[in-house]
Amino acid sequence: MLEGLTIGARRFEVGSGELSIIVREISAELPRRVTQVYRGKDASYILRLRSETDVRDLKILPGKVLYLATGIYMQHDEPDELVRRLRENLRGAILRSAEWIIGERITHFNIELRGRRLKLVVELYPAGGIHLIDENQLVVASTNLRVGEKYEVREFRATVSSAEHAMSVLRQLDGKTKIGVALARDLHLGTKYSDEVLARSGIPADKRLQELGEEELKNVASSIESIFLMFERPRPMIYRSPESEVVHAPFPLLSLEAKGFRGEEATSLNEAIMLAYENHLAQQIRLNWMLKREEQIKKIMGEIEERKALMSRLEKEAEEKRASASLLYMRLGELKEMWNTSQNGASLPDYVKAVDRESGIVTLLLNGREVRLSLKEPVGRQVERLFQEAKKIAEGVRNLAQELRKLEDELNKIKSAPLEQIIVERPVKKTLSGEWFKRYRWSMTSSGRLIVSGRDSASNIRLLKRHLEPRDLVFHAEVKGSPVTVLKGGADAGPDELYQAATVCACYSRAWREGHSASTVYWVTPKQISFSPPTGTYLPKGSFIVQPPKNYITVELAIAIGYSRRHGLLAGEKRWVASESEVYMLLKPGRMDAKELFDAFIRAVSSATDVDTRLITFTEFQALIPYGRGQIIEGPRIIGGLG
């Protein structure tokens, strides 16, 4: 879970006016069927919605954000009680319509399931929640209300949208109130739109109301009215700061442009909010990581100081014991004689400072140093013990020095570690119409012939049963765990195309995971494929029979990954990928994980092309890397491309 994240400098929120546009855009995509409910990694709730053409996720983070994503999220957290109750009541339901509650950050989704009518209430104001209620306004499921209690409709506040209403409110406020505070707090515009009103009015935020003239007040009120009119004619925007902050907007904002933000149009406000929220989430995760790093540094530095202080104290103690033992050792004979005479009551030497006969402790003053000895134990034994204690303490100091070096190494390692790159999952587009082969792993030969591979045993069989035609060829690697690969129209293909199809088949087989440099692949015609076992035998599920003869090809294990404006991310034998892509890399089996490979690929794209790297998601890239690992043997290379 990514809960409890530290909030950055700019708080992420969706305003009431923005929500009105979001709901209008979502309404245009309805009705849709709810196929599943998930718990997001960021503590959000996700409704998977299916239409006749695609599948998209409705992402809801109570009290914060709501948007219809451009695709679906593949990573989920464990379902909580609310997810379980929503699944029980919403799976298979039709989301018919969406309503914005005027002036509020509240949305109602009207849902129908087998004649039963439900309403999903989403509250985006602070401390807001999600509530599924029935026709009697009783709670069926909720983040913070009891099941069975009646849902109380929040009292709506009037929206200050007209110039006259704005003037009336401003005149009633304390004249010492700053105009920026009045707009954000008292007129409920929030920081983003109060800044915009001031930018359009040309008035500084710290100017007090009593300092504003009548024309300035009218100018402010007029700007408020014009902004609210723009919510009716949205032109969604994404703004990026020089520090990589991303801010969504329903229309161009002069206030952001004045601060150096670069704006670009978005296809919808839902998409703009999705991109801004993902950036905000990444910033929060990064800030949380940095705070955790600082806590580690502070803790280690504290341990270092503790050990240094302890070492200093022990070194001093060891030195005192050695000095005392040395002084006593030099007078050992004299002290032994003193011991004997002291028993007879004879007078003691001048260096004897005090004698406690009851405890048997004598205090000596030797070379200005006080030394205490026991009259009840031979002095030689006491001297030896002092030497041993000093030696033991010195050994402890050496152990502390080793610990100190380890701590300092750990501290240097943490301080020198590069800033962790945060990648927040982007939704993957899932269309239900279009080319059938995109449901499988696909590629092409350099001559434009289609190569299609199964992803698992089920899709292998589905590919053979549904899409195999008489003039196709079927490829399979000579290792366990090979995908079925079909070269469409392969009967007319030349040797180069057969090699390219065999390469794709081999690279996604277990030979890649086992680190082989080459693999043998055979191909057969559709007539040689059978799903019926011989009489008296059993054919396991997901299996098929290949009748001889088999035609063998040995290929090098090397797969190219590229990006084309026409197709997006691509994978296949080098010749086709290089001809189609603007950027590509060639991989062989190796130890670099998909994240390292992705970083190298994105660096190449961003440094040498004008391709928007947001279009290249890690999830899609990772799916193309055989078994999630590899080694770069060429590239990433930047080429002209045909995309």
Domain spans of the chain? 16-142, 163-269, 297-416, 430-638
Query: Do 16-142 and 163-269 come out as alike in CATH topology?
Result: no
Model pTM? 0.58
Distance of CA 550 to the CA centre of its chain: 47
pLDDT at 638: 64
- Expressed in angstroms, the distance from the first to the final Cα of the chain is 39
pLDDT at 155: 65
**Domain spanning 16-142, CATH architecture:** Roll (2.30)
**How do the residues of the chain divide into helix, strand and coil, expressed in percent and rounded to 5?**
40, 25, 35
Q: What is the CATH number of domain 163-269?
A: 1.10.8.50
pLDDT at 63: 92
Pairing of strands 106-113, 473-477: unpaired
pLDDT at 590: 95
pLDDT at 282: 87
- Does domain 297-416 correspond to CATH entry 1.10.287? yes
Distance of CA 474 to the CA centre of its chain: 40
Q: Report the C-alpha gap between 493 and 576 in whole angstroms.
A: 15
Q: Which residues of the chain have pLDDT under 70?
A: 1-10, 155-159, 336, 338-348, 420-423, 432-434, 536, 638-643
Residue 411 · residue 300 · CB < 8 Å? yes
pLDDT at 573: 97
DSSP single-letter state for residue 104: S
Fill in the amino acid letter for 434: G
Pairing of strands 94-100, 106-113: antiparallel
For 395-446, the pLDDT digits (tens) are: 999 999 999 999 999 999 888 877 766 667 888 877 765 678 888 999 999 8
Name 361's bridge partners: 356, 374
